[in-house]
């Protein structure tokens, strides 16, 4: 099962699992914030796909779903996701993200056979640690979204240690690509540049000079490969960074995207919120050594592919 199956990363994961011959249940909230259903049903193997609509905060419904299907693996991607926006809606982020995972873990504890649960966390749990960020750093979450993911990690550790569940943890770093959410910088920049509107680049003023934020942009297909590798090879509550492993200026992303669109727009500098780090990127050595995973898609190719997809979607509409 893939929870959050109609979302950005979830829909790509469902497609990949179907393409390698897996039977998949794609789970969605009855009122999904994103709806990429039309993409996943295009798969040549869509006959192996079933769709379930369940609010994971409903424990009884979640338990019944797991009893009915006897899943081998559950990739738990469903969450309300935005480190920046969560600061204004703490209850919604903490309540939804924590309770949904708890329902899955508790249901998995009760049923036999017990599925492996792959929990997708976030680089935001590292807080203001100095990069490169390693899995053995003590988390310092700042903001409700980061805190919800940190609580989720602790739940996985509890169920692994107490009940012997396999619930490995993925910390994603700035996943981008086709279908990305409206609050992800690729989508924001593409919308503005294509409409010839100014773009906002966030960062900080340091000694009178503006320093653009730097992020570890990672292509969605690479992230999906890493996610499946965790599902196949990780155990217990092992933690893996899934990120490219290098910092990229958000200003550079804006400039490359303007080149791809062949349009020049005004760039306005904006101050990051206090809970946001100026520079964030990972050390992905564990994923490389233990999972045999490595990112393949460089920044320029990510942007070219995204802009081509974005323009084709505009033509269809």
Domain spans of the chain? Answer: 2-173+217-245+287-291, 185-215+247-282+297-316
Q: To 10 degrees, the CA torsion angle through 17, 23, 29, 31?
A: 90
Those residues with Cβ within 8 angstroms of residue 209's Cβ, 6 or more apart along the chain or in another chain: none
Predicted local confidence at residue 317, as pLDDT = 57
The two domains 2-173+217-245+287-291 and 185-215+247-282+297-316 share their CATH topology (first three levels equal): no
Please give the CATH number for the structural domain made up of 2-173+217-245+287-291: 3.40.50.720
pLDDT at 72 over 80: yes
Please, which residues bridge with residue 248 across strands? 215
Predicted local confidence at residue 316, as pLDDT = 64
Using the Cα atoms of residue 168, residue 225, residue 65 and residue 72 in order, give the sign of their dihedral: negative
pTM: 0.96
Tell me the three state secondary structure of residue 76.
strand
Query: How many CB atoms sit inside 10 A of residue 274's CB?
Result: 8
Mean pLDDT of 282-289: 98
Strand stretches in 54-115, DSSP E: 73-76
Predicted local confidence at residue 200, as pLDDT = 98
- Angstrom distance (rounded) from CA 210 to CA 22: 48
- 103 to each of 64, 218, 246, how far by Cα in Å? 11, 30, 36
- Angstrom distance (rounded) from CA 125 to CA 139: 5
pLDDT at 275 over 90: no
pLDDT at 315 over 80: no
Mean pLDDT of 14-25: 97
Q: How far is CA 136 from the centre of its chain?
A: 20
CATH tag for 185-215+247-282+297-316 (out of 3.90.25.10, 2.40.30.60, 3.40.50.720, 3.40.190.10): 3.90.25.10
Extract the tokens encoding 75.
Answer: 């990739």
């Amino acid at each position: 099962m893939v929870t959050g199956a109609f979302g950005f990363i979830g829909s790509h994961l469902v497609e990949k699992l179907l393409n390698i011959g897996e039977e998949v249940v794609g789970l969605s909230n009855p009122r999904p914030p994103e709806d990429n259903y039309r993409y996943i049903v295009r798969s040549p193997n869509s006959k192996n796909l079933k769709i379930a609509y369940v609010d994971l905060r409903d424990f009884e419904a979640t338990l019944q779903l797991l009893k009915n299907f006897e899943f081998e693996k559950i990739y738990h991607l469903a969450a309300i996701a935005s480190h920046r926006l969560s600061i204004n809606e703490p209850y919604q982020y903490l309540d939804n993200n924590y309770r949904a995972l708890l329902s899955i873990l508790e249901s998995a504890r009760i049923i036999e056979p017990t599925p492996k649960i792959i929990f997708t966390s976030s680089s935001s749990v590292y807080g203001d640690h100095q990069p490169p960020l390693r899995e053995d750093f003590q988390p310092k979450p700042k903001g409700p979204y980061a805190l919800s993911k940190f609580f989720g990690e602790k739940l996985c550790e509890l169920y692994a240690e107490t009940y012997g569940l396999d619930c490995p943890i993925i910390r994603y770093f700035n996943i981008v690509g086709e279908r990305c959410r409206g609050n992800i910088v690729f989508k924001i920049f593409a919308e503005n540049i294509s409409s010839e509107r100014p773009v906002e680049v966030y960062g900080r003023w340091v000694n009178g000079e503006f320093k653009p934020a730097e992020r570890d942009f990672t292509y969605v297909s690479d992230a999906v490969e890493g996610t499946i590798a965790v599902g196949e090879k990780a155990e217990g509550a092992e933690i893996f960074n899934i990120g490219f492993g290098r910092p990229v200026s958000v200003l550079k992303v804006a400039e490359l995207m303007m080149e791809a669109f062949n349009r020049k727009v005004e760039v306005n500098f904006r101050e990051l919120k206090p809970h946001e780090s100026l520079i964030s990127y990972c050390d992905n050595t564990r994923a490389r050594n233990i999972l045999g995973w490595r990112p393949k898609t460089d920044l320029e190719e990510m942007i070219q592919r995204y802009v081509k997809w974005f323009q084709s979607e505009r033509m269809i509409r």
